[in-house]
Amino acid sequence: MKILGINGSPRIGGNTDILLDKVLEGASVNGASTEKIVLNKLKFSPCQECEDMRDDGECIIKDDMRQLYRKIKDADAVVFASPIFFGSISAQAKKMIDRFQCLWRLKYILNKDTGYKKKKAAFISVEGSDREDFFENARSIVKNLFAAINAEYAGELFCSKVDEKAGILKHAGCLEKAFELGVKLARG
């Protein structure tokens, strides 16, 4: 089982990053092969809403998103992680999701098979406040991504009132739930 973790946080070693590592640790301990991608380390453009879009779901922009498309396509499960920024996902996370517009168009406008195999997916998020509606905003965007990549929304973990860098380490319950989520994904 291949599980791909995608970190949409700009902060390495921060709360989102730590939680994602815990999920991947839980998966790895249970036999899954894991990989983590940090979006902030990739060089890619936002969606340009190209007029000459291809009809096969492939983006015409040649940048680091090409490798990410392949990794997501090949994964058996995906864990998408983003902190809450201004009531929703981070800019890095949204920029990546918007680049799936060509795939969304292939599936929902052209009604064609995307070639993405069925997979499980989970969403983890951290925020400094306790605004449940912020998680709801983020969840709705992430669910659209999961639908486009043929992924079943198989779990989520939301941790609120965690703002300082690495503050999640003081929230043992969230760390345990992250590990358990990884175990669950590894078991299929």
Please provide the DSSP assignment of 108-175 as one string. HTS-----PPPEEEEEEEE-SS--HHHHHHHHHHHHHHHHHTTEEEEEEEEE-S--STTGGGG-HHHH
- pLDDT tens per residue across all 188 residues of the chain: 999 999 999 999 999 999 999 999 999 999 999 999 999 999 999 999 998 999 999 999 999 999 999 999 999 999 999 999 999 999 999 999 999 999 999 999 999 999 999 999 999 999 999 999 999 999 999 999 999 999 999 999 999 999 999 999 999 999 999 999 999 999 98
Please state the pTM of the whole predicted model: 0.96
Q: How far apart are CA 79 and CA 85, in angstroms?
A: 19
pLDDT value at position 188?
A: 84
Q: Where are the domains of the chain?
A: 2-186
Q: Which CATH architecture has domain 2-186?
A: 3-Layer(aba) Sandwich (3.40)
CA neighbor of 78 nearest in space, from 13, 133, 148: 148
